[in-house]
Chain A
Amino acid sequence: MNLRRLIWLEFKQHKSQLISGLLAITLGIAVIVGIRSVSVVSEKAVAVNLDNLGANILVLPQASNVDNYYSADIDAPTIPEEYVDRIVSSNLQGVDNLSPKLTRRIQIGNEKIVLTGIMPKNEISSKPMWQQSGLIGNPIIAGCTPDNSANKDNGYKDDKLQRKVIDSLSANECLLGSAVSAKLKVKEGGSLDILGQKFTVSRVINETGTVDDDRVFIHLRKAQELLNIPGQVSVIEIMGCCNAISEGLLGKLRNVLPDTRITTIGQIVSTQIQTNKMMNKVSLIFLIIITFVGGISIGNFMWANINERRKEIGMLRMIGFRKIVIYKMMLVKAFVLGIIGGIVGYILGTLAAIWMGPKLAGLPVSPILSLILISLAISVCVSMLGAIIPTYLAGKIDPFKNMQEV
């Protein structure tokens, strides 16, 4: 017989009370774990999907008009191409691909056409839809979060990993958007006169349904030469990781390039930010609820238990158990309750997420092991907090409770 055995035997004696006392905290932990398990997977899925949309940040000159995200670069003032190096050398997390462009409206024959100078490797890697036109070459390495292992762990594949690029677009070659090709009646292999220089059409890009359909693409260096704007670009497109954007990538870019205008596809990013915020808020609300309800529930259980055992506690005090030993007995009990609540809550929450995730969110959910530590920490803290007052009062029980018949 020792203190540990006494606590254990007392636990065994009050199994039903124990279960009711644990119910609130266990369910609370289960809900938090369930929400978090689904939201983590959901956040990653949203991030992967949004990243796959392609470039989502524009670095423009201060004076440019950004009413239309997709045509903001046309006839915009210019910024130095050297800004690309500045971004690269700043080593910002979440910047996956930089695509500098120089865009101007020009006249080809009788048609007004948008000419865009691009760095072919960078441009194509930022345009997933172009790849369907067969513009393929070497694979690019994407470092954007969610990282490869995270994607693999969750059963996703990051499309960027599969993207291929062409390494070069020679000085006398051009790419035509599908609408331009139709308008100018020029096909692959044909030739085109652009600002007095002859270009061979190396590829007609399949219809993308974007402004790219109405553009002619040549090498950036050639465009700078023909337009007589050396070393300047009208926009730098960045394929920024959505998670990184929601975590403040735009602000960091503004610090690197203070004299530029940096914008993003607001709706997409705000959706991501709102989703993350909403999930975090829901988890926080549950955390607050569990702290109150779980703490009160444990406190109530402990108090009922202490009231039921007043004579027993009094007897222990009478035969020489110090107050500190009574405190220890109560707090060890609360600690064990917290551990049980945390583990059972984690298991229930994870099972619920695995079962309901595919049905509710259409996502396969895997157990997140790190959540067990969080569950245990929350559960033990709440349990101990709930037990503080009853424990203090247990120490105040008169040791002579058993003598009052006299």
Chain B
Amino acid sequence: MILKTINLSKSYKHKDGVVNAINNINFTANKGDFVTITGPSGSGKSTLLLSLAGLIKTTSGQIFINGFEITKAPERNVSDFRKNNIGFIMQSFALIPYLTAIENVMLPLAETSIRNKEKRYLASDLLKRVDLDNRKNHYPRELSAGQQQRVAIARALVNSPSIILADEPTGNLDPGLSSDILKLLKKFNLDEKITILMVTHSPVAAEFGNLNIKLEDGKLVTSINNNEMSN
């Protein structure tokens, strides 16, 4: 087991009363799982992802990633934990426009003690694995949307994370490119046994996961293990 949530809840105060963004969420993910999180807008998908990353404080409950309780740890420890254990892939790619592809990939290593030469080697290797070896010195504006997302995937992998949190990674891509990106993620998931948690609206994308969690009004309504279903 790599990830476990216990009675996870997050509520906001609103002028109309208290809003329960997520309510009593319990689930676990094992090493190598590809978890898709689906649900309508406002169902609490992003709140769940933010909570798992330790980017927002939950109201109650616990989150354990690799045995580290993210809900209790001080902010600086959570930052360090993210730096060393979590990779992020965003819908908008979140690349820095004035950095080249390879510099963007090296970014999560900027605050580590790894030597620059090694950082460059790691980034270069990952760019090769996402088929962007010949584009490593290109700026994001010189890359297509699909290429930018592949740079983002390489960046998410450069710190050898145990878990990747992906927020609608195919939301800005056409169906053809979406499929390529999802296949790429699946490949890393299977080859590297990296756990992936992916928020998506797309039923097609959701099929790439072996575990699908569906949220409605902040509650976990179904948790389907695709492997078990196929079995």
Contact = CB atoms under 8 A, between A and B. Distances in A.
B110 A3 contact: yes
Contact of A320 (B90, B111, B167): B111
A311 B94 contact: yes
Contacts of B97: 13
B106 A403 contact: no
Interface string A273-313: 00000000000000000000000000000000000000110
Contact of A2 (B50, B99, B110): B110
A399 B98 contact: no
Interface residues of A, number: 30
Interface residues of B, number: 41
B55 A399 contact: yes
B98 A13 contact: yes
Interface in A372-405: 398-400, 402-405
A404 B49 CA distance: 11
Interface string A79-95: 00000000000000000
Nearest to A14: B98
Contacts of B159: 320
B22 to A, nearest CB: 13
Contacts of A19: none
A12 B167 CA distance: 31
Interface string B86-106: 101011101011110001001
A9 interface: yes
A375 B14 CA distance: 52
Given A323-B75, A406-B91, A318 B106 contact: no
B79 to A, nearest CB: 5
Question: Lowest 9 A-B CB distances belong to which pairs?
Answer: A320-B83, A13-B98, A1-B106, A406-B46, A320-B82, A402-B94, A315-B94, A402-B90, A322-B79
Given A1-B109, A321-B79, A323-B76, 13 more contacts: A9-B98, A9-B99, A9-B103, A311-B92, A315-B94, A318-B82, A318-B88, A320-B81, A320-B111, A325-B111, A402-B90, A402-B94, A403-B50
Interface of A: 1-3, 5-6, 9-10, 12-13, 311-312, 315-325, 398-400, 402-406
